[in-house]
Amino acid sequence: MSGIGRTWQVVIVGVAIATVGTAVALSQERKPPEQDTIKTETGDLTITFIGHGSLMFGYQGKVIHVDPVSREGDYSKMPKADLVLITHEHGDHLDPKALGLIRKDQTKVVLTKACAPKVPDGKIVKNGDVVTVDGFKIEAVPAYNIAHKRPDGQPFHPKGAGNGYVITFDKTRVYVAGDTENIPEMAELKDIGIAFLPMNLPYTMTPEMVADAARMFQPRILYPYHYGETDPNVLVDLLKESKIEVRIRKMK
């Protein structure tokens, strides 16, 4: 074969590989996020696992988004929010672009004081506050680091700055912890049916810390989330003798 012929063969093969790669990438982009449906006393609670710290709940025709972030999903194609909960101001939890895509005129946004400069019309709540927003009881609970700190000695998440949230769906209480460690306040949580606990170093917890946290308040179902490259199966093994059901979903 001539040099020119070989050159064209290489070009054609290269184009074919690139086309296949593009098709695979588009296929992956279009793959919908995982969902679970939890039966409650007053209807189904649908949980959509968008990615990392981003979640969506559907209940009785209402939609709640938690920490919507563009890199985790295509928010232009997702249901508009009746309520948005933002745990803290870090860019992997607060994304004004994603928030803008899911807001409608009636959307309520609950957030921390540090988030307010980017979302000035949100409702600020602090640790310990209990509010009812759009018919949902929302409890803001502490979320902070004790052991893990930045090089300057300051915690990645200072006490009092971030929120976890307990959302009550009739009798089903869902705890979304935000960025936190296994802090002593978790022992005060009561009747948690479903919990989301973060598990990535150095920002949140190890599997051992998550297991310790879960044992404090004994959720019925535990989803590790925000877990990066941590192996979630380690947590499954740590809690295999407990009554806690650990469910693994794609929440890196």
Spatial distance between the Cα atoms of 193 and 175, rounded to a whole number of angstroms: 8
> What pLDDT is stored for residue 30 in this prediction?
54
Domain ranges of the chain: 1-31, 33-246
6 pLDDT higher than 70: no
- pLDDT confidence tier of residue 29, bands split at 50, 70 and 90: low
Largest CA distance in the chain: 77
- pLDDT confidence tier of residue 11, bands split at 50, 70 and 90: very low
17 pLDDT higher than 80: no
Of 21-25, 170-174, 179-183, 240-244, the one with minimum mean pLDDT is 21-25
16 pLDDT higher than 90: no
Share of the chain above pLDDT 90, in %: 82
> What pLDDT is stored for residue 201 in this prediction?
85
> What pLDDT is stored for residue 152 in this prediction?
87
156 pLDDT higher than 80: yes
pTM as predicted: 0.88
Q: Which two tokens stand for residue 133?
A: 């927003």
Q: Which residue spans within the chain are E strands per DSSP?
A: 34-40, 43-51, 54-59, 62-66, 83-85, 108-111, 123-124, 130-133, 136-143, 162-169, 172-176, 194-198, 221-225, 245-246
The CATH number assigned to the domain with range 33-246 reads 3.60.15.10
pLDDT tens-digit readout, 79-131: 999 999 999 999 999 999 999 999 999 999 999 999 999 999 999 999 999 99
> What pLDDT is stored for residue 169 in this prediction?
96
Q: What is the H or E stretch that residue 13 is in?
A: helix 3-30
On average, the pLDDT of the chain sits at 90
> What pLDDT is stored for residue 198 in this prediction?
98
pLDDT tens-digit readout, 183-205: 999 999 999 999 999 999 889 99
